[in-house]
């Protein structure tokens, strides 16, 4: 391989850091939950209902203050105006009016008549309260269903220790990612649900790869203490894990800087998710097996090479 970020045959003692990684992750997890209930998410139009206008003005830069003043004369309630992408592009959000979909269509007509030919309407989205509620419910069902299916798959593929460890790690990644949305007040929309589902897949892929190597080594080195065996397994997969993460981050960084405002919150969540997923697969997923008291005798098909001698243990701890 021409490019390697991590050399082969590393001997890092990752399990020594579990006394730090567990408390640190627990604090971040609890803070994320506290912020979710105290501050709350900045729900987008998909979940709150309302109308979004993406406009391109004839003048550059756009007169944000003038646009706000024009909209204020319409008495539309809560209206948000912000620059969106290029200096002459503006994003306007209007809260859901009373009266349902007919009232929302009236809002669209009012805004179009107010600005006339002075702006180009590139996108107009109207989401009613019933649709927004259904979307929120569907998003929760999608995330919950994916976790349940993953739990049973890993339980079937490995052992219950691995299944519980993978689910706990994944839940941590989800909650911390939601905490990022709360702290930065990123707009939480359907694309955010897609980002969370993608993060689940990425994090689990990393975790399952590490778990698979742990299971192989449990069959080969039966006499090696579990912490040393986990260190050995992670070090053997470290180059692959880091290379996958770095190449994924390069693509996401390109999307973040050149993809425009529409997908910026999505790509930022993905970048954070890749980083936290890589961290959790090393510093949480593997140490959870120690907490759950995994033993080599519990591994299905433990009929491999039984040459797990003291020499092997010394090699693993070297």
State the CATH number of the domain containing residue 25.
1.20.1640.10
In this structure, are 238 and 185 located in the same domain? yes
pLDDT at 5: 59
The residue that leads in pLDDT, 62 or 102, is 62
In this structure, are 239 and 144 located in the same domain? yes
Residue 2 maps to a domain: no
In this structure, are 240 and 209 located in the same domain? yes
- pLDDT tens-digit readout, 163-185: 888 889 989 999 999 999 999 98
In this structure, are 54 and 144 located in the same domain? no
Range of the domain at 72: 50-127
Residue 279 maps to a domain: yes
In this structure, are 169 and 211 located in the same domain? yes
Residue 302 has pLDDT above 60, yes or no: no
Residue 306 maps to a domain: no
In this structure, are 169 and 118 located in the same domain? no
Q: How confident is the model at residue 308 (pLDDT cuts 50, 70, 90)?
A: very low
Residue 1 maps to a domain: no
Strands (E), the chain: 42-43, 50-57, 79-83, 89-95, 119-127, 187-188
Average pLDDT over residues 60-70: 84
In this structure, are 148 and 258 located in the same domain? yes
Rounded CA separation 108/104 (Å):
6
CA distances from residue 289 to 13, 198, 226 in whole angstroms, order as listed: 16, 25, 9
pLDDT at 187: 82
Residue 6 maps to a domain: no
Rounded CA separation 235/14 (Å):
9
DSSP single-letter state for residue 74: T
In this structure, are 167 and 255 located in the same domain? yes
Are the C-beta atoms of 310 and 223 separated by less than 8 Å? yes
Number of domains observed in the structure of the chain? 2
In this structure, are 220 and 293 located in the same domain? yes
DSSP single-letter state for residue 97: P
Residue 133 has pLDDT above 80, yes or no: no
pLDDT at 303: 44
In this structure, are 177 and 264 located in the same domain? yes
Residue 181 maps to a domain: yes
- pLDDT tens-digit readout, 83-120: 777 788 888 888 777 766 677 788 888 888 888 888 88
Residue 166 maps to a domain: yes
In this structure, are 108 and 248 located in the same domain? no
Task: Tell which of 107, 127, 147 closes a domain.
Answer: 127
Cα–Cα nearest to 126, from 17, 53, 202:
53
Residue 64, domain CATH: 3.30.70.3400
- pLDDT tens-digit readout, 20-61: 999 999 999 999 999 999 998 888 777 777 788 888 888 878
Angle (CA) 27-176-263 rounded to 5° is 155
Residue 106 maps to a domain: yes
Are the C-beta atoms of 302 and 218 separated by less than 8 Å? yes
In this structure, are 255 and 208 located in the same domain? yes
Residues 6+ positions from 231 with CB-CB distance below 8 Å: 11, 12, 13, 14, 15, 316, 317
């Amino acid at each position: 391989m021409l490019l390697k970020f991590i050399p082969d045959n590393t001997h890092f003692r990752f399990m020594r850091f579990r006394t730090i990684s567990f408390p640190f992750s627990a604090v971040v997890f609890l803070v994320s939950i506290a912020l979710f209930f105290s501050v709350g998410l900045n729900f987008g139009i998909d979940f709150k209902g309302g109308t979004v206008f993406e406009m391109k003005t004839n003048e550059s830069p756009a007169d944000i203050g003038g646009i706000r003043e024009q909209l204020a004369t319409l008495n539309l309630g809560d209206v948000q105006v912000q620059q969106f992408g290029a200096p002459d592009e503006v994003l306007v959000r209007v809260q859901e009016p009373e009266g349902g979909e007919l009232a929302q269509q009236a809002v669209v007509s009012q805004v179009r008549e107010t600005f006339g030919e002075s702006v180009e309407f590139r996108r107009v989205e109207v989401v009613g309260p019933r649709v927004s509620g259904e979307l929120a419910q569907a998003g929760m069902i999608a995330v919950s269903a994916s976790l349940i299916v993953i739990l049973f798959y890993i339980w079937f593929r490995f052992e219950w220790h691995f299944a519980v460890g993978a689910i706990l790690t994944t839940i941590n990644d989800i909650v911390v990612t939601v905490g990022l949305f709360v702290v930065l007040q990123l707009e939480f929309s359907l694309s955010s649900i897609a980002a969370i589902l993608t993060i689940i897949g990425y994090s689990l892929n990393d975790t399952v790869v590490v778990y698979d190597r742990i299971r192989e080594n449990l069959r080969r080195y039966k006499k090696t203490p579990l912490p040393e065996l986990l260190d050995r397994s992670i070090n053997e997969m470290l180059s692959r894990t880091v290379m996958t993460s770095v190449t994924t981050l390069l693509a996401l960084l390109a999307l973040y800087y050149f993809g425009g405002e529409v997908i910026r919150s999505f790509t930022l969540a993905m970048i954070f998710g890749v980083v936290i997923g890589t961290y959790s697969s090393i510093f949480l997923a593997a140490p959870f097996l120690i907490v759950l008291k995994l033993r080599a005798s519990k591994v299905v098909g433990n009929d491999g090479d039984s040459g797990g001698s003291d020499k092997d243990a010394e090699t693993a701890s070297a």
